[in-house]
């Protein structure tokens, strides 16, 4: 009997459109002989919707999503059902539409890749693909992520960070810290965002102020990083769980000078450069650099306790390698890094689902109750509770 897979995509995030593309690519390539797909679309207002029109990308382009039903899921352990939204049924309240055996979250960025969706799935006690709450939240927050990497002696560029409130109250103090600790040029980034949105390079004080004003529109937490000049960006994906890991081929994006923009990453992803290429796979790097990147990728993956697949992005300056960031929900699940190794998109999804089931079964071995007659030992009325 085929298992039912809920593919969740969209979301209240500036990366909404990218998520739709990833979700539909997963649906298109999933092994239909093993799994039945239930598309679950979170629109920009945060409504959860399902319907057959979600299966055709043309309907998104032409805004023909007319058959959608609003649904809810319940954060109740072992309740894997999809219900019609109770407000849509006047007489009988919510109604069961379907049930799901496993979930593939394909929501990028805020309210999806940051651990929020993963927390819901944990409360539902249902298998799901990708990193858990901790890995997702740490991987999303660039400040916490770099702090964790530093604690494992993994190489990251120098940085400082601050809250939006501090900038609004004392801009001069922030600027002074940047100039004294980092100098110019620097990159200014929202701490919790992806797809290069809100990121600006600043080469002087005037540009720094402008860059921060842009970044604080997207996040209350800002990170400023020392620029690595004239680097090569090399990316490598990791697949697996615990220490049972393997690395993909390395890629080098082409046609960028200082920063890969949103358009570079997605709008031009299906176009070719002057020599017919947008990226080089495998990247043309020395064997010792390749081996160093593969090992650092695994270490970064384990440092945040990730599982499933993640893509780790590096900056390479001659013989120096820096971890730029880890993407716990890479666009299109980074299938293009695995296909040249003989792992098709379908096989990649199969392996991700198998990992989800294995790690779920492992979690069920944990004890979730501890029998102790604590209530009889405490008298709250006499203020004798000592815990």
The string of pLDDT tens digits covering residues 219-277 is 999 999 999 999 999 999 999 999 999 999 999 998 655 555 445 444 444 433 334 46
Please tell me which residue in 19, 332, 334, 351 is annotated as part of the active site. Answer: 334
Can you tell me the distance from the alpha carbon of 18 to that of 2, in angstroms, rounded to the nearest whole number?
Answer: 29
- pTM, two decimals, is 0.89
Q: 137 catalytic, yes or no?
A: no
Check residue 272 and give its pLDDT: 39
229 assigned to a ligand binding site: yes
User: Where do the domains of the chain lie, and which CATH numbers do they carry?
Assistant: 3-128 (3.40.50.20), 158-226 (3.30.1490.20), 232-359 (3.30.470.20)
351 assigned to a ligand binding site: no
Check residue 273 and give its pLDDT: 35
228 assigned to a ligand binding site: yes
Q: Which two tokens stand for residue 159?
A: 């940085």
Can you tell me the distance from the alpha carbon of 77 to that of 72, in angstroms, rounded to the nearest whole number?
Answer: 15
Q: What does DSSP assign to residue 31?
A: -
Angle CA 328–332–334, to nearest 5: 65
Check residue 176 and give its pLDDT: 98
Can you tell me the distance from the alpha carbon of 22 to that of 256, in angstroms, rounded to the nearest whole number?
Answer: 23
187 assigned to a ligand binding site: yes
pLDDT in tens, the chain (387 residues): 899 999 999 999 888 999 999 999 999 999 999 999 999 999 999 999 999 999 999 999 988 998 899 999 989 898 888 888 766 555 455 678 889 999 999 999 888 899 999 999 999 999 999 999 999 999 999 999 999 999 999 999 999 999 999 999 999 999 999 999 999 999 999 998 765 788 999 999 999 999 999 999 999 999 999 999 999 999 999 999 999 999 999 999 986 555 554 454 444 444 333 344 688 999 999 999 999 999 999 999 999 999 999 999 999 999 999 999 999 999 899 999 999 999 999 999 999 999 999 999 999 999 887 777 777 777 776 665 555
Check residue 372 and give its pLDDT: 75
Can you tell me the distance from the alpha carbon of 257 to that of 231, in angstroms, rounded to the nearest whole number?
Answer: 9
Please tell me which residue in 13, 15, 252, 294 is annotated as part of the active site. Answer: 15
Where do the H-state alpha helices sit in the chain? Answer: 16-29, 57-61, 116-124, 133-140, 142-151, 164-169, 171-181, 205-215, 262, 287-303, 345-363
206 assigned to a ligand binding site: no
232 assigned to a ligand binding site: yes
70 assigned to a ligand binding site: no
The answer to whether 88 and 69 are in contact (CB under 8 A) is yes
325 assigned to a ligand binding site: yes
233 assigned to a ligand binding site: yes
How many angstroms from the chain centroid is the CA of residue 161?
21
How many angstroms from the chain centroid is the CA of residue 264?
19
Any residues with CB less than 8 A from the CB of 246 and at least 6 apart, and which? 238, 239, 240
Q: Which two tokens stand for residue 69?
A: 């039903």
Q: 136 catalytic, yes or no?
A: no
The number of C-alpha atoms within 13 Å of 102 and in the hemisphere containing its C-beta is 23
Beta bridge partners of 252: 280
210 assigned to a ligand binding site: no
189 assigned to a ligand binding site: yes
Q: 15 catalytic, yes or no?
A: yes
Please tell me which residue in 13, 195, 248, 332 is annotated as part of the active site. Answer: 195
């Amino acid at each position: 009997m085929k298992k039912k897979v809920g593919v969740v995509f969209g979301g209240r995030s500036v990366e909404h459109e990218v998520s739709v593309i990833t979700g539909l690519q997963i649906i298109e390539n999933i092994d239909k002989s093993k799994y039945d797909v239930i598309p679950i679309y979170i629109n920009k207002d945060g409504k959860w919707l399902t319907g057959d029109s979600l299966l055709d990308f043309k309907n998104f382009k032409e805004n023909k999503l007319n058959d959608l039903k609003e649904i809810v899921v319940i954060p109740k352990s072992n309740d894997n059902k999809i219900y019609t939204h109770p407000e849509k049924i006047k007489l009988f309240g919510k109604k069961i539409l379907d049930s799901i055996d496993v979930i593939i979250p394909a929501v990028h960025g805020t309210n999806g890749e940051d651990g929020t969706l993963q927390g819901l799935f944990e409360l539902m006690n249902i298998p799901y693909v990708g990193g858990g709450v901790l890995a997702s939240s740490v991987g999303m927050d660039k400040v916490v992520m770099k702090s964790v990497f530093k604690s494992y002696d993994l190489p990251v560029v120098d940085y400082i960070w601050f809250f939006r409130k501090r900038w609004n109250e004392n801009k001069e103090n922030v600027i002074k810290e940047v100039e004294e600790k980092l100098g110019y040029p620097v990159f200014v980034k929202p701490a919790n965002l992806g797809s290069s949105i809100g990121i600006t390079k600043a080469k002087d004080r005037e540009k720094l102020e402008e860059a921060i004003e842009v970044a604080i529109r997207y996040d209350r937490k800002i990170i400023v990083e020392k620029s690595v000049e004239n680097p090569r960006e090399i990316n490598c994906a990791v697949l697996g769980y615990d220490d049972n890991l393997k690395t993909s081929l390395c890629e080098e994006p082409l046609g960028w000078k200082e920063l890969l923009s949103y358009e570079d990453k997605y709008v031009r992803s299906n176009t070719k450069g002057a020599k017919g290429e947008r990226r080089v796979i495998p990247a043309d790097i020395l064997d010792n650099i390749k081996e160093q990147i593969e090992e650092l990728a695994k270490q970064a993956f384990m440092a945040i306790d990730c599982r499933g697949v993640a893509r780790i992005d590096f900056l390479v300056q001659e013989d120096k390698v820096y971890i730029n960031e880890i993407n716990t929900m890479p666009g299109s699940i980074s299938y293009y890094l695995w296909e040249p190794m003989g792992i098709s998109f379908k096989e990649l999804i199969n392996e991700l689902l198998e990992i989800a089931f294995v790690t779920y079964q492992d979690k069920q071995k944990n004890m979730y109750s501890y029998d102790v007659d604590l209530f009889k030992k405490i008298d709250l009325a006499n203020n004798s509770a000592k815990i």
